[in-house]
Chain A
């Protein structure tokens, strides 16, 4: 049973309107690489040009924030669910 990546609503237009995708992956980073390889238009909305997760993009494995685990090296096992949730931010200047 592979890892399931939930695709947030605003990014579904870049993923064939799918709300999730499943991949064989040993780490969160691997799953996100598979996701953005299959759906290349997603990549720039998740990662900066130098390949880092954007600061406002939060990734969870079964509700655990990967920042408090091993970031993108966080290991995954079959049946895990990865969620991508933005922190919303902005400001006038």
Chain B
């Protein structure tokens, strides 16, 4: 089945996410995805499937979950505000978030679903024995019941 939405990212930034997951292993890494989404352009109707979304910068953050960082991550509202300020300073938006699943598949958990909002792209990178493996992206459905898989398209040169 075709993915409903597609996320564009450069090879360089995709590698940065994977490296972050390896650096923090066996703990989960996390950060913000800064980019552009055509659905935010004034005067356009909202249509997630027709919109194009591209990640143009990352804002790595510190996992605040000291109690169970191997299977949980959390970011404070201040982290979110800092990410929004960093995005705004670059003329971008926070279009999603990334985190790692140490020794676990790159599939969203029930816990991920409970704590998600729609529209955001949620990238998950699986890190097995310290080595980054699969990277996937997901968007929460409007009814909050499940995530839809989002295609990741890697650009091998910088966006114009």
Q: Which of A41, A65, A85, A88 contacts B74 (CB 8 A)?
A: A88
C-alpha gap A93/B108 in the complex (Å): 9
Given A10-B120, A45-B118, A56-B115, A89 contacting B71 (CB threshold 8 A) = no
Chain A residue with minimal CB distance to B39? A13
C-alpha gap A90/B31 in the complex (Å): 12
Evaluate contact between B77 and A58: CB separation under 8 angstroms: yes
Evaluate contact between B79 and A88: CB separation under 8 angstroms: yes
Evaluate contact between A88 and B80: CB separation under 8 angstroms: yes
Give the bracket for the number of chain B residues in contact with chain A: 35 or more
Q: Mark A65-93, 1 if CB is under 8 A from B, else 0.
A: 10000000000000000000111111111
Contacting A at CB under 8 A, from B105-131, are 108-109, 111-112, 115-120, 122
Chain B residue with minimal CB distance to A11? B117
**B28, CB-defined interface residue at 8 Å:** yes
Contacting B at CB under 8 A, from A41-75, are 41, 44-45, 55-56, 58, 60, 65
Chain A interface residues toward B at CB < 8 A: 8-13, 17, 41, 44-45, 55-56, 58, 60, 65, 85-93
> Could you name 26 residue pairs across A and B whose Cβ atoms are closer than 8 Å?
A9-B40, A9-B93, A9-B119, A11-B119, A12-B40, A44-B144, A45-B144, A56-B115, A60-B77, A86-B80, A86-B117, A87-B74, A87-B76, A88-B80, A89-B75, A90-B72, A90-B97, A90-B111, A91-B65, A91-B68, A91-B71, A91-B111, A92-B109, A93-B71, A93-B104, A93-B111
